[in-house]
Amino acid sequence: MERLKEKLNKKIQPKRDEIRNLVKNNGDTVVGEIRLRQLYSGMRGMPSMITETSKLDPHDGIKFRGYSLDELLELLPKSNKGEQALPEGIFYLMLIGELPTQEDVSMISKEWMKRSKVPDYVFKTIDSFPNESHPMTQFSAAILALRNQSFFMKAYNDGVRKEHYWESTYEDAMNLIACLPIIASYIYRKLYKNGEYISPDYDLDWSANFAHMLGYSNNDFQELMRLYLTIHSDHEGGNVSAHASHLVGSALSDAYLSFSAGMNGLAGPLHGLANQEVVKWLLKMVEDHGGNIPTKEEVSIYVKKTLNEGRVIPGFGHAVLRKTDPRYTAQRNFALKNLKDYDLFILVNRVFEVVPPILQATGKVKNPWPNVDAHSGILLLKYGMVEYDFFTVLFGVSRSLGLMSQLIWNRAVGSPIERPVSMTTELVKKNYL
Ligand code: HAX
């Protein structure tokens, strides 16, 4: 058994015992109450599942196994070619529950390199899509095609015992994560670079190799990729991509089915697709101002016009957060250091000053502050990646780290099939009013 799997193995039985005892001794403890309004408002605030990898606090933002993003960007091992934390490290933390050493992260980089073998039929699946198909459609379909290699599916068909489910799920999860940069970069090069593909460089870390296969080999872009793939990796269990992935996985669907489901949720404009929507919206604003960066007053008029058209301001608001997203701040810090004079960064800052009071004034928006998607796109544009309809795929590659850690743990502790109860309005009125 490889070292990471061995380490995980040692953590599993104590966790199973902990959960069994907790439920046995405290199973009737009430952990929340449900209001009628929550049934009609997307289950906001309802505690309904366990996710060990990370927890979102409305005011403190995301914590991964108890560590804030700021702390982790300091504490996680870095590449020897830069200052950014490596996403391999956050994966280790989410999976094992401890901070990794430099040796741990290089073990993961090597393991993913070793596992990054994408069968030909997956490329053929991608090739069969017309170029007009959104990159997320092609990404999700390619993940499904990859499913043919599922170790879990094979083990299940061979009658594996429940307590061993996690082992083949671990194999699938690691293989899937390893293959995603190849699949994503293949889609990118097919759509935008005349199908001129770039072979992996096996000496690089996961992010730098991904940047290299996309066709961006300069150090700054690789650093951006490390940051990007770290900060988008997980956002507890209730967001659409995590929840969709969890739900589908709970039926014992394998890692490929479960992750593809998550990606279909991420592809929605209120979730991960918001990163492309932000760029589209910003560029249209510039275009409408004759190619110039609009003034604060002009931004304000533009924002109000968007709202009057019955549209949302992309990149602002959140279902849980009630302050500026720390992932926004992490990207802002990167921009301040590396591209502070970039005109679109100046525009993003202007939008940040203008939008919150306008959203507050509507009297209905619960969180007027920017989320992760308000910032990510312009960083990529600055380094020459201008094909913004691809940006959600980058988000998806990163999200695999969280969703796959969650799935492995769900299998390890034997999480049951998810089956909440739905109501009818008639029943709500009859039984509760
Ligand atoms: N612009 C305009 N109106 C907004 C808004 C925004 N950015 N954010 C919320 N609202 C509106 C809602 O549409 C809702 O209006 P109605 O009552 O007329 O339906 C009202 O304010 C209350 O919404 P809320 O409770 O504050 O927000 P929700 O929890 O319902 O929704 C969303 C959270 C993120 C979906 C929402 O803020 C939004 O649509 N934001 C813009 C899209 C976006 O940036 N999405 C990415 C979110 C982060 C993420 O998942 N990244 O992947």
Name the β-bridge partners of 370.
Answer: 316
Residue 367 beta carbon below 6 angstroms from any ligand 1 atom: yes
Q: Is the Cβ–Cβ distance between 181 and 210 less than 8 Å? A: yes
On whether residue 33 sits in a domain, the answer given is no
On whether residue 38 sits in a domain, the answer given is no
| Cβ neighbours around 41 below 10 Å, total | 12
Distance between Cα 241 and ligand 1 center (Å) = 16
* Residue tagged active-site, from 318, 325, 341, 375: 318
Instruction: Answer yes or no: 246 catalytic.
Output: no
Which structural domain, as residue segments, surrounds residue 326? 274-382
Testing ligand 1's pocket by substitution, the residue of 41, 240, 318 carrying the most ligand atoms inside 8 A of its CB is 318
Q: Is the Cβ–Cβ distance between 283 and 262 less than 8 Å? A: no
Output the pTM of the full model: 0.98
Residue 46 beta carbon below 6 angstroms from any ligand 1 atom: no
On whether residue 57 sits in a domain, the answer given is no
Output the 3-class SS for the chain.
Answer: CCHHHHHHHHHHHHHHHHHHHHHHHHCCCCCCCCCHHHHCCCCCCCCCCCCCCEEEECCCEEEECCEEHHHHHHHCCECCCCCCECHHHHHHHHHHCCCCCHHHHHHHHHHHHHHCCCCHHHHHHHHCCCCCCCHHHHHHHHHHHHHHHCHHHHHHHCCCCHHHHHHHHHHHHHHHHHHHHHHHHHHHHHHHCCCCCCCCCCCCCHHHHHHHHHCCCCHHHHHHHHHHHHHCCCCCCCCHHHHHHHHHHHCCCCHHHHHHHHHHHHCCCCCCCHHHHHHHHHHHHHHHCCCCCCCHHHHHHHHHHHHHCCCCCCCECCCCCCCCCHHHHHHHHHHHHHCCCCHHHHHHHHHHHHHHHHHHHHCCCCCCCECCHHHHHHHHHHCCCCCHHHHHHHHHHHHHHHHHHHHHHHHHCCCCCCCCCCCCHHHHHHHHC
Instruction: Answer yes or no: 373 catalytic.
Output: yes
**What ligand 1 atom has the least distance to the C-alpha of 41?**
30
Residue 373 beta carbon below 6 angstroms from any ligand 1 atom: yes
Rounded Cα distance between 327 and 338, Å, is 17
CA atoms 238, 66, 205, 7: torsion sign: negative
Residue 399 beta carbon below 6 angstroms from any ligand 1 atom: no
Distance between Cα 335 and ligand 1 center (Å) = 25
Domains: count for the chain: 1
Residue 318 beta carbon below 6 angstroms from any ligand 1 atom: yes
On whether residue 364 sits in a domain, the answer given is yes
pLDDT of residue 423: 96
Q: Could you give the percent of the chain with pLDDT greater than 90?
A: 99
Rounded Cα distance between 264 and 75, Å, is 33
Q: What is the CATH number of the domain that holds 329?
A: 1.10.230.10
On whether residue 345 sits in a domain, the answer given is yes
Cα–Cα nearest to 373, from 408, 327, 412, 341: 327
- Residue partners of 391: CB distance under 8 A and separation at least 6: 275, 276, 279, 376, 377, 380
Cα–Cα nearest to 214, from 241, 246, 245, 180: 180
Angle between helix 165-192 and helix 135-146 axes, rounded to 10 deg: 140
- Residue partners of 184: CB distance under 8 A and separation at least 6: 139, 210, 214, 393, 394, 396, 397
Q: For the chain, what is the largest distance between any 2 Cα atoms, rounded to a whole number of angstroms? A: 67
Instruction: Answer yes or no: 318 catalytic.
Output: yes
pLDDT of residue 1: 73
* Residue tagged active-site, from 235, 243, 246, 271: 271
pLDDT tens per residue across all 433 residues of the chain: 799 999 999 999 999 999 999 999 999 999 999 999 999 999 999 999 999 999 999 999 999 999 999 999 999 999 988 999 999 999 999 999 999 999 999 999 999 999 999 999 999 999 999 999 999 999 999 999 999 999 999 999 999 999 999 999 999 999 999 999 999 999 999 999 999 999 999 999 999 999 999 999 899 999 999 999 999 999 999 999 999 999 999 999 999 999 999 999 999 999 999 999 999 999 999 999 999 999 999 999 999 999 999 999 999 999 999 999 999 999 999 999 999 999 999 999 999 999 999 999 999 999 999 999 999 999 999 999 999 999 999 999 999 999 999 999 999 999 999 999 999 999 999 999 9
On whether residue 297 sits in a domain, the answer given is yes
On whether residue 324 sits in a domain, the answer given is yes
On whether residue 173 sits in a domain, the answer given is no
